[in-house]
Amino acid sequence: MNSALDPNDKDKESLLPSVHSANPRKNKNRTISFTHILASSVLFVLTLGIITFVVAGGLQLNLAFQTPPAYTPNEYTCSCDCWDRQFKGNYIDSTRFYRNVYFNMNRHTVYVFAWTLGTIMLLEKFIERSLMCVITGGVFRGLRWGVLICAMLSFYAMFYNWWITWNYLNDQFYPLFATQFFFNLTEFIPSALFYFLIHPTTYLPRPFLLLSLSTSLSHIILSMGDQGWKHLITGTGMLARDLMFLVGDAVGVVMVLYELTWRRGETGRAPKRVTIGEVGAVVLGVVGMKVLYAIIKTVYGYDE
């Protein structure tokens, strides 16, 4: 199997955590060098900086697609009667009443923070893996830039899943929660595709690729069927949002088709042709997800 790493890159790999799991016996009783600590600290700072940039960019992009009312609170006179003040404790009167974030000490707040923390951790894993690919393999050979670009094009759909679920939890608005969580969970499948394939020597089994293809196609059908095509054709409604959804899912489809029909395998052989059985499996997967979505809507009484 061809490797994207130079033989001399072992020294680089020894300084930082590997993208692969380490052998615990090999590292037993090993003293960590100061260089290792420094390099790990730099990696952490880089990852945190990129996460902050990505989240801030997602917020600004999402804001561009919304039409919020023009309102600027007065930081010196405003107040919030819905805030229970429990987290602030005895220091409630030590500063002005304005807060950047108000939250109450209840289980719904725990849900909001847990959902946000989980999303950030997944983003951190992808960014750290990408950085490690560059550090250990080089800028051009250690990272599949095409996969990274595809992941960036798909980012808004993943960000929207976090944002809208955050609002449902924060508002305790649950009529649409079940159908939204269907998209949240199934979105993990194409997201895992980008995570693994960002490394140039990683290959995924064909069943997983077919499952990812079914997921992306079903997302296109379901999300576009919910007023999406109408917005795109007439140029009305949430046009930019729906267009970003379509682009993200289409990128997932293209990525899988490339892996199935174009990219050479680990042995360098040309990829196998897509069989009739595999096409049938994809169609069956799309139908299955549509049926599951319809069952969720029926059970929870939601209809467009």
Q: Cβ(50)–Cβ(127) under 8 Å? A: yes
Any idea what the Cα angle at residue 119 is, between residues 155 and 197, rounded to 5°? 50
Burial class of 66 by CB neighbour count within 10 A (0 to 12, 13 to 18, 19+): exposed
Q: How confident is the model at residue 102 (pLDDT cuts 50, 70, 90)?
A: confident
Residue 147 has pLDDT above 60, yes or no: yes
Q: What is the pLDDT of residue 189?
A: 93
Q: What is the pLDDT of residues 240-280, one digit of tens each?
A: 888 888 899 999 999 999 999 888 777 667 777 889 999 99
Q: What is the pLDDT of residue 15?
A: 47
- Give mean pLDDT, residues 143-171: 92
Q: What is the pLDDT of residues 55-76, one digit of tens each?
A: 888 888 888 777 777 888 888 8
Q: What is the pLDDT of residues 10-26, one digit of tens each?
A: 444 444 444 444 455 55
Q: Cβ(179)–Cβ(303) under 8 Å? A: no
Q: How confident is the model at residue 238 (pLDDT cuts 50, 70, 90)?
A: confident
pTM for the whole thing?
A: 0.79
Average pLDDT score, the chain:
84
Q: What is the pLDDT of residue 20?
A: 47
- The residue extents of the domains of the chain are 7-20+33-300
Q: Cβ(39)–Cβ(13) under 8 Å? A: no
- DSSP collapsed to 3 states, 258-296: HHHHCCCCCCCCCCCCCCHHHHHHHHHHHHHHHHHHHHH
Residue 89 has pLDDT above 70, yes or no: yes
Q: Enter the tokens of residue 294.
A: 């319809």
Q: How confident is the model at residue 53 (pLDDT cuts 50, 70, 90)?
A: very high
Q: What is the pLDDT of residues 192-234, one digit of tens each?
A: 999 999 999 999 999 999 999 999 999 999 887 777 677 777 7
Q: Enter the tokens of residue 210.
A: 């077919």
Any idea what the Cα angle at residue 114 is, between residues 108 and 118, rounded to 5°? 150
The contacts found for 55-58 with CB under 8 angstroms, 24 or more apart, are 55/120, 55/123, 58/155, 58/156, 58/159, 58/163
Q: What is the pLDDT of residue 25?
A: 52
